[in-house]
Structure 1
């Protein structure tokens, strides 16, 4: 099997990681392309002593870490509004702790693998994750709307949201309910399932809501590969079913990390 064939199944998940790390589809995909170009340019330098996914993320990490210091030195006026928000967050949270958080709780790497990827030991990874969770939770508080037609899953999501210190505006089970609830009580974050009770789409519900006002959205689906094809507009934040509670917590924190409404004064 060629190296390209080995890497292909892991690209959708790497795009998810890159987008969560940067808070941007465009920027995240740009870093993924840079990593792939580096592999194509020097295939002999690709890590062969680890599995393909770990080697792919390692190459991405090298690209990311080589550029983050230049990005951190840029002024807020030189970038987008989203980049300005990120810089204000990053002044309170080190990039390394965010990487440790995402790699372990969202991407599912064990601490030993995350340590390999960021150049630390496993004990330090655990410390970084704890620091990141505490600081992001302190920085971000909002009101969350849940679009989910499975009662038990909705209850679980609601509990997770409240455990993080957020309020829940309500739970909608159809597209029409979701839009009506959003218009009645505007949320600061939306958690949206893809397939809803009346065979309507959570994606369409979100499109209707975003046509009225801007709000960060996290999609939840059992089939993430259907939304991470690289062939159409794709979600920045995506959770795979069945999900782990820590994954939901980390993704909520990351989505709010880039949201202007929750930036501390």
Structure 2
């Protein structure tokens, strides 16, 4: 992938309150060459981690240990242009029509292929090697692109 941020992988914040899912994501991120910079189970913890050390990508569940607060987390973290938020949720209907500033939604249960494809696209986009909107490679079952995607 080159010697830029993509060559080193993305720095990812996992916002997930289910321990097994969080561990699975950490392992997948590691296998894909990305770095997990933190795991948060609550909105307060997620916002604190994301603001202290802004990640390249935040994978955010909608329903956290402190309730359906993931949308607030997504909106707050996506306010920093250095961070791209992707919701990972079985509750896609809880995400507002504007996606709360997120790039899109990966539906749970997710597949490793969808997560890998989305992260690869975001990595390529960050490096300036792809356009503003993804091509057919992201027309995958289990991924919904925000109306006006940004990375």
Give the structure-1-normalised TM-score.
Answer: 0.42
* In the alignment, structure 1 residue 238 sits paired with structure 2 residue 102: no
Q: Which has the higher helix share?
A: 1
Partner of 1:107: none
- Deviations along 1:119-150, one digit per CA (max 9) or x if unpaired, are xxxxxxxxxxxxxxxx59x9722211110000
2:61 pairs, out of 193, 215, 229, with 193
* Mapping of residues 35-50 of structure 1, within 5 Å: none
Distance 1:186 1:167 in 2: 13
Q: CA deviation at 1:214?
A: 3.5
Judged with a 3 Å threshold, the aligned counterparts in structure 2 of structure 1 residues 139 and 167 are, in CA distance, closer, same or farther, namely closer
Report the count of equivalent residues: 124
CA–CA separation in structure 2 for the residues paired with 1:197 and 1:148: 8
Q: CA deviation at 1:248?
A: 1.1
Q: Whose Rg is larger?
A: 1
How far has the Cα of 1:263 moved from its partner? 4.5
Query: What SS does the corresponding residue of 1:162 show, helix, strand or coil?
Result: helix
Tell me how far apart the structure 2 counterparts of residues 200 and 227 of structure 1 sit (CA, whole Å): 10
C-alpha separation in 1, matches of 2:103 and 2:81:
17
Counterpart among 14, 38, 41 of residue 173 in structure 1:
41
CA distance in 1, matches of 2:79, 2:85: 13
Distance (whole Å) between structure 1 residues aligned to residue 105 and residue 124 of structure 2: 15
Q: SS in structure 2 opposite 1:220?
A: strand
Matched, 1:149 2:17: yes
RMSD: 2.4
Match of 2:71 in 1: 203
Deviation of the 1:238 alpha carbon: 1.4
Unaligned regions of 5+ residues in structure 2, if any? 130-151
Q: Is the 8 A contact 2:78 2:85 kept in 1?
A: no
SS at match of 1:218: strand
Q: Distance in 2 between matches of 1:151 and 1:163?
A: 18
CA distance in 2, matches of 1:145, 1:253: 16
**Structure-2 residue corresponding to 1:250:** 117
Q: Secondary structure at the match of 1:258?
A: helix
Question: Does the 8 Å contact 2:17/2:41 carry over to 1?
Answer: yes
Residues 76-225 of structure 1 mapped to structure 2, 5 A cutoff: 140=6, 141-225=9-93
1:218–1:252 contact (8 Å) kept in structure 2:
no
With normalisation by structure 2, the TM-score equals 0.71
User: Quick one: distance in 1 between partners of 2:74 and 2:15?
Assistant: 9
Once residues 184 and 227 of structure 1 are traced to their aligned partners in structure 2, the CA distance between those partners, rounded to angstroms, is: 25
Hey, what's the Cα distance between the residues in 1 that align with 2:5 and 2:52?
A: 26
